[in-house]
Amino acid sequence: MADRIDSAAAPSTGTGLRPRAIGLPGVLMQALTHIAPAVGMVAFIPMITGFSGITSPLAYLIAFLLVLTLGLSLTQLAKHLPSAGGYYTYVSRTVSPRAGFLTAWTLFIIELIAPGAGLGFGGFLFEGALKAEYGVTFPWWAFLLIGTTIVFVVSYFGIRIAVGLTIVLSAVEILIVLALSVSAVLSPGPGGINATPFDPGRSVSTNGLFLAVVFTIFAFAGFESVAPLAEESTDPRRTARRAPPQPARPTPAAPRRRRMQNASTRSPARR
């Protein structure tokens, strides 16, 4: 197993993956673009508020703690199994190859649907905003086609160009979200800033708070998208695990566990 793990991090040749093409900023921005904080504000906050009411911040806090446990696990898997297979490699090595196969196909279908749905939703918002503010009609499907063409062209010319554009657009998105956040803190409204939203008793209902937590998890999802970049990042055993939130520190027992696993795969009983 140790030999296979080490070979996964080895530089690839030919026209396939490009080793050491992405640094930590590119990997970090890949995670942020999949989390999509701006889209999360528009798409999820109204739904979450509808379920939990004034306790929406509590729902975000609970969901963050739940996602944090997943992030801690993924950082260790990204460190010990740096592979472009991502979840396929993680699940295949830790559960079974069959489970890894099903997981890979599930994520593959999601990754095909999500970009189109995101561009379509963005086009719908863009069309409504232009029509309401300036009286201009720009159909949502045109926005979808233009966005899809840009993504295809940028991806075709290589991962370095794609990552460079990702960094620029992500920085703009972060500045916009940060400006909105600062504005909300400076002008919180009539209620001001207090701890009332963190009182579960102020929720619309217990079921509503539970549903709000579930949908808030989707608002945090996306940081795991850095896993497939392991073989194209510099020092993948460190870079891939530093991009998800709150990476766990490496444990001293890891080398010993790897030697035990390697020995077990060579024993006659396991053949």
| pLDDT, tens digit, 9 for 90 and up, residues 207-240 | 999 999 998 888 888 777 777 777 777 766 665 5
Question: Does residue 60 have a pLDDT over 80?
Answer: yes
| Measured distance CA(197)–CA(230) in Å, rounded | 40
Specify whether the CB–CB gap between 83 and 230 falls below 8 A: yes
pTM: 0.68
| Measured distance CA(97)–CA(74) in Å, rounded | 18
Model confidence over 73-105: pLDDT tens digits? 888 887 788 777 788 888 998 899 999 999 889
Q: Which tokens in the block code for residue 69?
A: 């446990």
Q: What is the dihedral of CA 145, 217, 24, 147, to 10 degrees?
A: 0
Question: Does residue 65 have a pLDDT over 90?
Answer: yes
pLDDT on residue 255? 38
